[in-house]
Structure 1
């Protein structure tokens, strides 16, 4: 597959890295030669210096043969124009990064497709969705709902209060148990557990369950004493903070602390129809935090553009007694450090955006992809086609690659956990957990075929 990316910023470079790992034919275009320096030697990609909207440059990059064209420069108009030109030159699919929420209205999708833009992506909106979902459950690090909660993946940090520690999983996760353990992060290493493995204090454990058993999972992981989130403080009045403010449940009280006075005025305009309170000040100021009721706050979210500031602010909030902390960490070099400091949930816009773009590359019917950067893994929702390999044998006989496991499936809108004897049927939405593997290698199991 040939992919052309314009914009060697955070999202573009991260996406190029993913594609080079998958040995895709990838071209990265940017007008700034310094941004492209050494990228072609670090990753297996071709780089081109030039304007993303130059017809000459796009032709040099062989856009006419591109299966996917991605516009992810910081300039929304440039991304959209580049996609329109690329489509006219012959690119099969295009996706543009935007920062205008109005464009995401569902009724505008045919309008943009007619222009030659197949998909629009707004990383701040995607990050806000993750943050809001996380705030609804104070005791989880990460949550992902499939089919409106028919299946739910929960990332949970295990403490001494967990009831299932130090016992072989074969004794805990039998075929009738309403949960599966799909991955464990321990001491910097990811483990795809087997029946003889045990869970330990300090593990970050990913469970797959169905919505009705979430309280059960909460109980045996020892999280019932965690207070539900009612009061939230956000440090940093970014675009992501605005989207969180506009989508937060009504029962939550929100305060946004922003040190730029002009930005505070703008925030008040943008959040006029909400009950959010905007405070001019520095979110790292202990006196200010105490004055604003940090002792009665269940969640602290750090969304400044500085990863170090966000990490330190979350550490401070935890020291002051806040249970739920979320940090925006855009520098991937700091993600491992932030996780080792046990600061709470880590949000990275570029990995979220790259997951959504990556989904467009897959030929099989894939309705959702999520990158779990903490465990260096991906979760994808594949739909089993009629006659596909995945439907031919029970799960235990499919010969799935090492590091790949099935978390569950959705059939007729009902979540079902999978065991070795499960027979997947055509039309099932199957949750595939893939550690350090190319998701494209799993496509062959789900695409229609009559010969195996």
Structure 2
């Protein structure tokens, strides 16, 4: 597939790296020669210096022969205009990054589609949604819902009090048929478990289960729920503001922000949020504002190191739930190893959303697993697809991948060896990068 990306910022370059690993023909357009030079030294792609809203520069990318155009510059208006221009020049499909919720309203979607803007992505809103889920679901590192919650994937850190420690998965399969462990993160390595493997203390296990059985999973893994009422945000970024908007007035929220003008804007926007003008790294200020009484601490400044340190400080002061926005990918594993409750990275979130449009199989969802290269897909089984031909145990499915469950009609089911996938089923598949192209062939 030929993909043209406009914008060599963090999202664009991360996406280019991701797609280049899949042997796509990538063209990256940006007005900065320096940014393009940096990425071209790392990734096999074509770079073109030019403007995303110039017809002549867009034509240099040979858009008429491209399957997908992705506009992810920092400027929303430029992205929308670039997609409209790219459609006029003959590209197959367009995706525009936006930062305005208004564009997502249903009443405007048809008009935007007519203009040639086929898909919209709002990374800050998606990141805020993950923050809200992390605050509400205190027992998991990551929660992914499939088909509006009919099937769940839970990422859970296992401690010494779990009742399943050191039992093989063959034993667990007999005792607990309501769950399936699809992956284990152990010492920075992601493992696809087999029957003779077992769960160790300190593992992060990724479990597929149903909503009715999730409490049993938490109990087995030694997790107890606690209510979050008091939340402190360090940094009043757009992500923090979107999270406050989604949380509503059911929580007592404080935001500590260094920029006085931004403080005034946030205070005017949210009557139920207490906004403090100050440096969130100041321990005396945090104590003065009652950090010890907080149930959750969310660090969303523009600096990854500050967010990691802030969350670790909050943990030492007794805050039970911590969430850090870590945009610097080099710090993801470091943050994960420090025991932060949840890690948010809008580049990964955006890339996951866009990535599904580059695959030939029909996909309703893609998610990157935090602090791991692995991904989880929700495929739709097409008529006559290879995945529907035999029970799972006879499919010779790639060893780097694992089928976690299926959604059939209004019900979610855990997948077992004898499960026979049918046309129209939504199939939850966990995979390492090396397995993506292999599993795609099963769902074409």
TM-score by length of 1: 0.96
SS of 1:375 mapped into structure 2: coil
How far the C-alpha of 1:288 sits from its partner, in A, is: 2.2
Deviation at 1:109, TM superposition (A): 1.1
**1:245 correspondence with 2:244:** yes
- Residue pair 2:182, 2:207 contacting (<8 A) in 1 also: yes
Which residue number corresponds to residue 342 of structure 1? 339
CA distance in 1, matches of 2:216, 2:250: 24
> Do 1:36 and 1:47's aligned partners in 2 also have CA atoms closer than 8 Å?
yes
* 2:137 partner SS: coil
The 2-side partners of 1:287 and 1:22 are apart by: 50
Q: Indicate whether 1:327 and 2:337 are aligned.
A: no
Moved more, 13-22 or 281-290: 281-290
Residue of structure 1 equivalent to 2:145: 145
CA distance in 2, matches of 1:103, 1:423: 41
Aligned to 1:450: none
Preserved CA contact (<8 Å) 1:351 1:371: yes
Specify the SS of the correspondent of 1:374: coil
Q: Does 1:295 align with 2:304?
A: no
Query: What is the alpha-carbon distance in structure 2 between the residues aligned to residue 172 and residue 24 of structure 1?
Result: 41
Matched residues in 2 for 1:278 and 1:179: separation? 43
Q: Where does residue 384 of structure 1 map in the other structure?
A: 381
- Cα distance in 2 for partners of 1:336, 1:129 equals 22
How far apart in 2 are the matches of 1:249 and 1:53?
A: 38
For residue 267 of structure 2, give the secondary structure of its aligned residue in structure 1: helix
SS of match in other structure, 1:213: helix
Q: How big is the shift at 1:390? A: 0.6
**1:48 — aligned with what?**
48
CA contact (8 A) 1:238 1:304 kept: yes
Q: In structure 2, the residue corresponding to 1:360 is in which secondary structure?
A: helix
Output the aligned Cα RMSD: 1.3
| Contact residue 377 and residue 435 of structure 1 kept, 8 A | yes
CA apart distance, 1:175: 8.4
SS of match in other structure, 2:351:
helix
Query: What is the distance in 2 between the residues matched to 1:98 and 1:441?
Result: 33
**Structure 1 unmatched ranges of 5 or more:** 448-452
| Matched residue, 2:64 | 64
Report the Cα distance in structure 1 between the residues aligned to 2:170 and 2:291, rounded to whole angstroms: 43
Which residue is equivalent to 2:258? 259
Q: 2:280 aligned with 1:278, yes or no?
A: no
After superposition, the C-alpha distances for 1:228-255 in whole angstroms (9 at most, x for unaligned) are 2121111100000111001115432211
Instruction: Give the Cα separation in 2 of the matches to 1:324 and 1:379.
Output: 25
Instruction: Please say if residues 22 and 438 of structure 1, whose CA atoms lie closer than 8 Å, have aligned partners that are also in contact.
Output: no
Whole-angstrom distance in 2 between the partners of 1:245 and 1:38 = 36
Residue 422 of structure 1 is matched in structure 2 by: 419
Kept after mapping to 1: 8 A contact 2:142/2:370: no
CA contact (8 A) 1:94 1:119 kept: yes
Alignment of 1:44-123 (within 5 A): 44-123=44-123
Q: Distance in 2 between matches of 1:432 and 1:207?
A: 12
Contact 1:139 1:324 in 2 (8 A): no
Question: Hey, what's the Cα distance between the residues in 2 that align with 1:391 and 1:61?
Answer: 39
Check 1:54–1:206 CA distance in 2 against 1; reply closer, same or farther (3 A cut). same
> Which residue number corresponds to residue 402 of structure 1?
399
Report if aligned partners of 1:137, 1:229 keep a CA contact under 8 Å in 2: no
Residues 1:411 and 2:408 are matched in the alignment: yes
Corresponding residue of 2:171: 171
Counterparts of 1:5 and 1:320, CA distance in 2: 44
User: Is contact 2:398–2:435 with CA below 8 Å preserved after alignment?
Assistant: no
Map of 1:204 onto structure 2: 204
- Which segment is superposed worse, 356-365 or 190-199? 356-365
Q: CA separation in 1, counterparts of 2:116 and 2:96?
A: 10
- Provide the rounded CA distance (Å) in 1 between the counterparts of 2:87 and 2:210: 41
Q: Distance in 2 between matches of 1:375 and 1:100?
A: 30
Q: Deviations over 1:126-155 (max 9, x none)?
A: 001111111111111100111121101111
Which stretches in structure 2 are left out of the alignment for 5+ residues? none
Q: CA deviation at 1:402?
A: 1.7
- Per mean C-alpha deviation after superposition, the further-off stretch among 315-324 and 275-284 is 275-284
Cα displacement (A) at 1:61: 0.9
> In the alignment, which residue of structure 1 is the partner of 2:441?
444
In 2, Cα distance between equivalents of 1:52 and 1:174: 57
| Between 431-440 and 404-413, the greater mean CA deviation after superposition | 431-440
Q: Deviations over 1:74-132 (max 9, x none)?
A: 11111111111110000010011111111111221111100000011111000011111
Mapped to 2, the partners of 1:416 and 1:176 lie a distance apart of 14
